[in-house]
Structure 1
Amino acid sequence: MNLRDLVYGLYARRVEGRLDHDQVPKHIGVILDGNRRWAKASGGTAAQGHQAGAYKIEEFLGWCAETDVEVVTLWMLSTDNFNRPEEEMRPLLGIIEETVRSLAVDGRWRVHHVGTLDLLPARTQTVLKEAEQATDGNKGILVNVAVGYGGRQEIADAVRSLLLDHADKGTSLEDIAESVDIDQISKHLYTSGQPDPDLVIRTSGEQRLSGFMLWQSAHSEYYFCEVFWPAFRKVDFLRALRDYAARHRRYGG
């Protein structure tokens, strides 16, 4: 172990030792950004960057388990990503499938898909469904894998689901209009029944949400980290938690 690693380890333990677990966010959303730029800086391919980012996921979930986080939402593939070239999308989808299978086999996590299944290839859909079924009884962290996810699409899907639900009951248009409210729409989101994210982390230095959990993040705290996702370290995670704990959440008050 070199001096840099030793100093890093000591600093990480110091930050962790001062962490108040009562102030840890219960739900963390993560925008996994910077895989391709990390690969480019390292002289690798986009696929190698995505693979490195995938390897980071289980390590990150381990940190979350150590700090009593209960729900994690990982944005792995957006609806906008489908505009990328097929030669990038094909291996990326394969990496996502492999990652989801690995999460399911691990036994520590409950896997839940958030996103539009119809946008995904049949094989990817099957992997996501099987992972949900296989981990349904697990007691660990609830891991939302956001694949084929877009915030505006989620809201549109929620409203559509709400309207279809009322239509099946024979509700009149006037009564539907009267009944639509925040709680009703929330019940039809991909994350229905879950707590909203307390903290949203975005890696790579970009300071925008790009549509991530538009509805649920109304009162979330945001933490923007300069490092690319594959290079995200435990100390970066602990700093995000420390920063969150120092804030005073007002929920609009």
Structure 2
Amino acid sequence: MACSSLDISAECLKLSQRKELPKHVAIIMDGNSRWAKAKGMPRIAGHREGAQSVKRCIKAAIHNNIEWLTLYTFSSENWRRTPEEVSDLTSLLKYYLKYEARQLHKEGIRVRIIGEIDRFDRKLQDEFSAIEQLTKKNNRLTLTLALSYGSRGEIVRAAQRIAEDIQQGNLTIDQVTENVFAKYLFAPDIPDPDMILRTSGECRLSNFLLWQSAYAELIFVDTLWPDFTENHFNAALETYVRRERRFGARPGL
């Protein structure tokens, strides 16, 4: 069952003693605007509070020895929002990267960026490069930020690059397999997510990791992202370990 409510309990804090946890968790961080609206606050207040949830989420991932954490930070569709909100979002992103980079590095976190980053201004692109360079040798956790990211666009881009290689004689049609196609995606070295979590009660992927999520366990929770805590993260992991992953095989095979 894809949609599942979460039981937050002390049992969730003992996950290290349970069966295998996901190596890669991806999160659609939804609900910032609704959180702010419910409190009579401007949208940017929800995004600021959501940044605090990111810190809590990273802490929970490290505590549970998660190796890869991918966050849907800024979708390609976000560019359609009002210029004021786009400006607020990019300014908050600049602030976060500038002031959190050294702390992330200190904690042994490697930061990766995926998406159409050339749509951001040059100064922000430089911040992306700087944090990736600073943290590239860290191995405690790989934190991937999906920025100006849309999975359909990623797949189209991969198909175009494959077509170019075929046209140039570097590849034949018969050589195009699933494994080869995957190598043309934004970050082919990042493993597919074992678990995708979405907050705010919405039960859809919203153009996020469509290719990579083929066999991911999907978990949807009602909690708005700014209210998301370490206990919510642990509860999602508890739901994950209760499931049987069969990858299309029959039970017992």
Give the TM-score, by structure 2 length. 0.89
Give the Cα separation in 2 of the matches to 1:102 and 1:65: 20
Give the Cα separation in 2 of the matches to 1:132 and 1:161: 24
Give the Cα separation in 2 of the matches to 1:52 and 1:152: 29
Letter in 1 for 2:98: R
The aligned counterpart of 1:164 is 164
Please tell me whether residue 186 in structure 1 is matched to residue 182 in structure 2. yes
Give the Cα separation in 2 of the matches to 1:87 and 1:197: 33
Does the residue aligned with 2:25 lie in a helix, a strand or coil? strand
- Alpha-carbon offset, residue 133 of structure 1: 0.8
Give the Cα separation in 2 of the matches to 1:126 and 1:219: 35
The aligned counterpart of 1:85 is 82
Please tell me whether residue 204 in structure 1 is matched to residue 200 in structure 2. yes
- Alpha-carbon offset, residue 22 of structure 1: 4.1
Does the residue aligned with 2:112 lie in a helix, a strand or coil? strand
- Alpha-carbon offset, residue 123 of structure 1: 2.1
**9, 13, 16: which one aligns with 1:16:** 13
Please tell me whether residue 32 in structure 1 is matched to residue 17 in structure 2. no
The aligned counterpart of 1:5 is none
**231, 234, 238: which one aligns with 1:242:** 238
- Alpha-carbon offset, residue 98 of structure 1: 2.0
Structure number with higher helix proportion:
1
For the aligned residue pairs, the C-alpha RMSD in angstroms reads 1.7
Give the Cα separation in 1 of the matches to 2:236 and 2:62: 15
- Alpha-carbon offset, residue 166 of structure 1: 4.7
Give the Cα separation in 1 of the matches to 2:62 and 2:100: 14
Letter in 2 for 1:199: M
Does the residue aligned with 1:52 lie in a helix, a strand or coil? helix
Q: Can you give the 5+ residue segments of structure 1 that lack an aligned partner in the other structure?
A: 1-10
Letter in 2 for 1:227: T
The aligned counterpart of 1:134 is 134
- Alpha-carbon offset, residue 44 of structure 1: 0.9
**1:156–1:188 Cα change, 3 Å:** same
Q: Can you give the 5+ residue segments of structure 2 that lack an aligned partner in the other structure?
A: 1-7
Write the mapping of 1:112-123 to structure 2, written as runs, cut at 5 A. Answer: 112-123=112-123
The aligned counterpart of 1:44 is 41
- The alignment of Structure 1 onto Structure 2 pairs a total of residues equal to 239
The aligned counterpart of 1:4 is none
Higher relative contact order structure (alpha carbons within 8 Å, sequence separation ≥ 6): 2
Give the TM-score, by structure 1 length. 0.89
Identity %: 33
Give the Cα separation in 1 of the matches to 2:164 and 2:133: 25
Give the Cα separation in 2 of the matches to 1:21 and 1:57: 25
**1:13–1:101 Cα change, 3 Å:** farther
